[in-house]
A = this chain, B = another copy of it.
Amino acid sequence: MHLEFRHLRTIKAIHEAGGLARAAEQLHITQSALSHQVKGLEDQAGVELFVRRSKPLRLSVAGQKLLALANRILPEVEALEADLKGLISGRSGRLHIAIECHACFEWLFPVLELFRKAWPDVDVDIRPGLAFGALPALMREEVDLVVSSDPEKLPGIDFTPLFDYEPVFVASSRHPLAQKAFVTAEDFRDQTLITYPVDRSRLDVFTELLSPAKVEPASIRQVELTAVILLLVASNRGVAVLPDWVVREVRYSADYVTRPLTAGGITKRLYAATRSEETTLPYMAHVLRLARTEPLKLQKPSVPIA
């Protein structure tokens, strides 16, 4: 049996119009076409779909089953078509985000909260587990936005600068290094360093400071949650290096000291990577703007990137 949407629409129209002639008009085809169509269906199914003995044409038992199917299915199809239209117009879409920097959750959540209110039809999600190969995943359309601090020249991928940040040394105010105006790589040699449980290549302390200087901390303790890291630091179980937007809340606390890395401090820049054809989508532009401006409110007063 070769059922098609056309047939369902036909059944529905004939039922509603109460006859072939009127239904044909409503469907913008001839009455003859409908007659042929119904006959074809009935031949294939081997069942009469309408009771011809009566006027107006009424559905038979089999016809009623088909009508019920039509009433369940056709609205879904229409909903899908509306959905696709939204997708094309850019009103709806998908925004699955991969973040290479673990601490980015801190500013990303508030940004996404704002975003979701403005774009309720966009499917927002943060995809865990592919921080390593985030950019390939972006190219394969497995994700739609990657937050990264290492822009690469890739075809079809745009890197939009978001904001600068400073990885900052954090320690208990009772810690010996609290006496120094800034810390250097050597200062870590006899310290317990608390980090997120990710590869060294994605930790600023290592990429910017310790690895170049070939310094290894006395020990490393990996902790998942930012709040727990700060707790351990406060109780002097180790020291940490965190982005400035994270330490904002502890910067002026009596329990902590924050110090720049090296005399001048280190500045890094975060980027959002997107597929070129989507960078200018309205919702994408919006989330990029939010990600450029909102995190600044969590940092020390500073100048936005032009």
| Chain A residues in the interface with B (C-beta under 8 A) | 1, 3-6, 45-47, 51, 53-54, 58, 60-62, 65-66, 69, 72-73, 76-77, 80-81, 83-84, 87-88, 93-94, 123, 139-142
Contact = CB atoms under 8 A, between A and B. Distances in A.
A65 B84 contact: yes
User: Taking the full assembly, how many copies of this chain does it contain?
Assistant: 2
A81 B47 contact: no
Given A5-B4, A140-B51, A72 B76 contact: yes
Contacts of A76: 69, 72-73
Contacts of A141: 51, 53-54, 58, 60-61
Between A1, A84, A88, the greatest number of chain B beta carbons within 10 A of the residue's beta carbon is seen for A84
Contacts of A54: 140-141
Contacts of A93: 61
Given A66-B80, A84-B45, A139-B53, A94 B61 contact: yes
B65 A80 contact: yes
B84 A77 contact: no
Contacts of A139: 53
A132 to B, nearest CB: 17
Contacts of A140: 51, 53-54, 58
A62 B92 CA distance: 11
B77 A69 contact: yes
Contacts of A123: 61
21 contacts: A1-B84, A3-B5, A3-B77, A4-B6, A5-B5, A45-B84, A46-B84, A47-B88, A53-B139, A58-B140, A60-B141, A61-B123, A61-B141, A62-B84, A65-B83, A65-B87, A66-B80, A69-B76, A69-B80, A72-B76, A73-B73
A133 B81 CA distance: 46
A230 B177 CA distance: 102
A72 B77 CA distance: 11
B84 A47 contact: yes
A125 B46 CA distance: 25
Nearest to A66: B80
Given A53-B139, A73-B73, A94-B61, A46 B88 contact: yes
B4 A81 contact: no
A44 to B, nearest CB: 10
A4 B4 CA distance: 6
A127 B3 CA distance: 32
A88 B46 CA distance: 7
A155 to B, nearest CB: 10
A73 to B, nearest CB: 6
B62 A87 contact: yes
A87 B3 contact: no
